[in-house]
A and B are shown apart, each in its own frame.
Chain A
């Protein structure tokens, strides 16, 4: 099934540094989303980017989408310890009814 695959699987950085996570997918999409999951909690929606958009910003988050390469990136600038979480990309499935989630990137921000 169509699926986003995040890269890297795990990332460890120092507070104040920028964190970049990538997502690659296999077939054409209408939308791509990024979610954050803190340990033991549900997923929280961060950003949705549509196929006709190239970049979106939300606070310290910047998402880019390159449909020619079938890839997206999530940049977190000036990271904080509170950004420690798993990050997932999700792409819409061929029916357009649902999203398919990748396995996620575990981000650790060290104080």
Chain B
């Protein structure tokens, strides 16, 4: 998707290992979000950022941490991956918070074995 890229696109990791997913934007948007998508649950917010070094927890933040040291990058870290964190992870960006639509990345499919 234009202006926002996620890496890696796919990852398989072992239980107990740390994993970092990267979201990179070229739109200079203030707001960035990490969601996970699981069957039957829609998208659930993990963490979000409203500026450099400004982050907050979402609905399902346990087991995840984030960092935003630059406007363009938002990192999601699974501190010790568990099988329940097998999911598709989406990053989204927005210029005006919830008053405007989000632009989503293409997702990272993470499998924890």
Contacts and interface: CB of A to CB of B under 8 A. Distances in A.
B103 A101 contact: no
Given A42-B1, A42-B90, A42-B106, A98 B100 contact: no
A97 B48 contact: yes
Contacts of B1: 42
Given A42-B1, A43-B104, A98-B58, A31 B98 contact: yes
Interface in A33-56: 33, 35, 40-45, 48
Contact of B100 (A48, A101, A102, A103): A48
Contacts of A97: 48, 50, 56, 97-98
Given A42-B90, A43-B90, A99 B106 contact: no
Interface stretch (B14-22, B39-47, B65-73, B76-84): B39-47
A93 interface: yes
Contacts of B74: none
Interface residues on A, range: 20 to 34
Interface in A59-111: 88, 92-93, 96-104
A38 to B, nearest CB: 11
B48 to A, nearest CB: 6
Contacts of B41: 103
Given A30-B98, A40-B107, 6 more contacts: A1-B59, A41-B106, A43-B90, A45-B103, A97-B48, A98-B45
Closest 10 interchain pairs by CB? A45-B101, A42-B104, A101-B43, A101-B42, A92-B98, A103-B42, A43-B104, A42-B106, A102-B42, A42-B105
Interface of A: 1, 3, 30-31, 33, 35, 40-45, 48, 88, 92-93, 96-104
